[in-house]
Amino acid sequence: MTDIPTREIFWQISGRGIFYLLSMAALAVLSWGLFQGVRFVRRGPASSTGPVRTLGTRAVIADILSHRPLAGENNARWWHLLIFFGFVLLFLVTCYVMLAHYGREALFTGVPYLLVTLTADLAGAAVILGALLALFTMRRDDSPARDRSRGKAAALSLLAAVCVTGFLVEGLRIHLTGDPWRGWSPVGAVVSSMLPSLAGSEGPRLFKGLWWLHSILALGLLAWLPLSARFRHMFFLPFHRAAVPLEPKSPAPVPDLGSLRTARPSPGSVRLGVETPADTTRRQRLGLLACMDCGRCERLCPAFLTGQSLTPRRYLQDLREYVMRSGEEGRGGREKNASAGEAITVSALWACRLCRACEELCPAGIGHVSQIIEIRRAEVLGHGRLPDDGAAALRNLARTGDPYGAGPSERAAWIRDQRLSCLPKRDPGKPLLLWTGCFQPGDEQKPRVLSCLSALLKQFEIPFFIHEGTSCCGDPARILGDEDLFQALATQQIKEIEDSGAEEVLVHCPHCYTVLKDVYPLLGARFSVVHTSELFRDRTEEKGLVGRGGFPNPLSVVYHDPCFLSRYQDLADSPRSILGALAGLELREAPRGGRKGYCCGAGGGHFFMDLDLQERPSSQRLEELLGQGPQVLAVSCGFCFSMFDDALRRLPDPPAVRIADWLELLKEAAER
């Protein structure tokens, strides 16, 4: 044994040609799998979502190194970090040893050899520890969204087996050679100390067998990487996550209908949304390959957690299988011309609330919501298929300008009662245009909240006006799949707003706010949009007007986050800061709040459709909120108010809890 730290790389191994052939075969399968993935992505059309601010490469690198998207899930974060860094280090060590073997022997002698040996031992131990922790966590997880698939267990077991056989090979080599540098292979040294004495040729034969087993397992893993949903995300996820939209969130394409009809004037020639597998865009296909089937998308899904047929994970799996299978059947030309709606059941398609809970928790940043919207577009405009209640809402919207069929009379009556001004087009004060939206017949909550809003604007001396020409923003048509009707309504509303001379629009409804702020600019709107929580947060901080008021008796309040305000617009803190500034108000936090809040169940058109067959999301969420013992349940959305009001009425013994918009509480405090 030499006094210089080193070892023979292919010690006791003959038949290196076979090893090289197996290595080339593994690399060929790896390359073929990657080529097929890239080809699959590139066969889709380019996305057309308009200008979007994305996450970017630098943020993705930071996310990968820290696993920040898994923050709050300590077990998953730590075992994945162990496997990730262990795997990367083992790959780098393998490349280093290969370089040393082919002409750079100095790289594998002395201190470099010792450091590489120690690194390999620690990395292998990290992979085994991470795999065992993952398997243990998988067995202990009893949540409805738990992942107990055989694929995950097989992938973890293979990773562990590669490293375990590697340590057996290392330990046996140390045992047979009496390696004086065994201290730099701590795990291998422990394995060596546990091995029995081997007489004669038994040791070398066993060593050769274990070496070949380890090599075959390692090369098999290498070949399997791009073919397994559990591994291929390591190649595609970084590219997909770098393109995750930050503003706006979950952007669905807004097609230029006029240009499409001009280019394809014949009836039925214009296709919208994802109608066939060939319509899935490159970004959507990249997301299908980036999915790791972890099941996090189901942990906050209101449809899944109330026993409905939609599971975001299964939907992505089915869509991936369907698009890939259609691509194989249509190889040599376009994919098979079948409806993409076949990849998801009708009940699952319409069970989605479009709440973005799945996207918020997805480490890959997959856009489930935009895909659902596009499939709905194809189903509604291409085939006329949608639930009856949804169809009725669309008919009302097309006939009267609002989904309730009331027309402008309810809103006009409220404007007269409030004696609000409709200022001329060129007013020197440049006041805010107060967006009222549409009114539901018999609804007392929305007129009451808007009255509070107008009173607060007057009290805070903020000039504003109402424009009688505005009505529904068109969001119900958009989320129910009728893009044609939505664009007609949106174009009309943009014209009305710009004709009024308004440069800034004040909106309270989170759904209207999201459409006016994120979608209208894609249709040519040039005005700015501000939410009420942003406006009053800034004004209360500037003038301290609320501090003079407050509630004489302590008032406990729990706040519910609307999905379209917290997850779509990142405005979870603004209403809380306003409520927290009110004297005498104790703000309590419920489980699953903020951007990880639980949906009330009204989104995705469900305010107009009653499709729940089992427990309703609103009942689940109400139970959580009431568990904090509040006197008031504060909301920031008329849909949330109605859903919780209905859920409260259905309780056999409803508690004395008031449901109120935070604007009502602000007005009451400011008047005292």
Between the alpha carbon of residue 164 and those of residues 114, 178, 198, 214, the distances in Å are: 20, 21, 20, 9
Top CATH class of 545-671 equals alpha beta
Whole-number pLDDT of residue 333: 44
103: left (phi over 0), alpha (psi -120 to 50) or beta: left
At 332 the pLDDT is 42
Cα–Cα dist 470/489, whole Å: 10
Exposed (0-12), middle (13-18) or buried (19+): which is 196, by Cβ within 10 Å? exposed
Q: What is the predicted pLDDT for the residue at 411?
A: 79
The whole-number average pLDDT for the span 644-651 is: 95
pLDDT for residue 334: 45
Torsion of CA 29, 32, 37, 41, to 10 degrees: 180
Measured CA to CA, the distance from residue 606 to residue 25 in angstroms comes to 53
pLDDT at residue 259 greater than cutoff 70: no
| CA-closest candidate to residue 386, choices 372, 404, 405 | 372
At the fourth CATH level, the homologous superfamily of domain 271-385 is Alpha-helical ferredoxin (1.10.1060.10)
pLDDT digits (tens, 9 = 90+) for 92-112: 999 999 888 887 778 888 899
> What is the tens place of the pLDDT at every residue in 500-547?
889 999 999 999 999 999 999 999 999 999 999 999 988 776 655 454
pLDDT at 316 over 70: yes
Beta strands in 532-651 (DSSP E): 555-559, 585-588, 632-635
CA distances from 597 to 443, 561, 564, 579 (A): 26, 6, 11, 18
Domain ranges of the chain: 16-234, 271-385, 401-539, 545-671
| Mean pLDDT, residues 465-490 | 92
Peptide bond just before 245 cis, omega within 30 deg? no
- The two tokens of residue 526 are 């040039």
Q: What's the whole-number average pLDDT of the chain?
A: 87
Which of 418, 465, 595, 452 minimizes the C-alpha distance to 536?
A: 452
- Which pLDDT tens digit goes with each residue over 1-15? 557 888 888 888 888
**CB under 8 Å to 507, separation ≥6 — which residues?**
435, 513, 516, 517, 529, 530, 531, 532
User: What whole-number percentage of the chain has pLDDT above 70?
Assistant: 90
Q: Do 401-539 and 16-234 have the same topology in CATH? A: no
Angle among Cα 566, 367, 281 to the nearest 5 degrees reads 150
Cβ pair 230, 155 in contact under 8 A: yes
Write the pLDDT tens digit of every residue in 158-182.
Answer: 999 999 999 999 999 998 888 888 9
Of 412 and 531, which is predicted with more confidence?
Answer: 531
Its CATH class, for the domain covering 401-539, is alpha beta
Whether 143 shows a pLDDT value over 80: the answer reads no
In the predicted structure, residue 81 carries a pLDDT above the cut 90: yes
Q: What is the largest CA-CA distance in the chain?
A: 104
Fold annotation for 16-234: Fumarate Reductase Cytochrome B subunit (1.20.950)
Report CA dihedral (445, 449, 455, 461) to the nearest 10 degrees. -170
Q: What is the pLDDT of residues 418-459, one digit of tens each?
A: 777 676 555 556 689 999 998 888 888 999 999 999 999 998
When pLDDT is cut at 50, 70 and 90, the band that residue 55 belongs to is: confident
3-state SS, residue 587: strand
Does 621 score more than 90 pLDDT?
yes
In one letter, which amino acid is 157?
S
Q: Which two tokens stand for residue 255?
A: 């097609």
How far, CA to CA in Å, does 540 sit from each of 462, 580, 671? 12, 11, 14
Q: How many CA atoms lie within 13 A of 138 on its CB side?
A: 21
Determine how many CB atoms are found less than 10 A away from the CB of residue 477. Answer: 25
Q: Residue 562: pLDDT above 90?
A: yes
pLDDT tens for residues 269-314?
A: 556 778 888 888 999 999 999 998 888 899 999 999 999 989 999 9
Question: 142-151, 313-322, 595-604: which range is least confident on average?
Answer: 142-151
Can you give the pLDDT at residue 542?
63
State the alpha helices, DSSP H only, in 378-524. Answer: 383, 388-400, 409-418, 445-459, 475-479, 483-499, 510-514
pLDDT digits (tens, 9 = 90+) for 334-349: 444 555 666 788 889 9
- Please report where in the chains the tokens 């026993």 appear, as a residue: 307
46 confidence band (pLDDT: 50, 70, 90):
confident
What whole-number distance in Å separates Cα of residue 532 and Cα of residue 333?
Answer: 52
- What pLDDT, on a 0 to 100 scale, did the predictor assign at position 325? 83
* Confidence class for position 652, pLDDT limits 50, 70, 90: very high
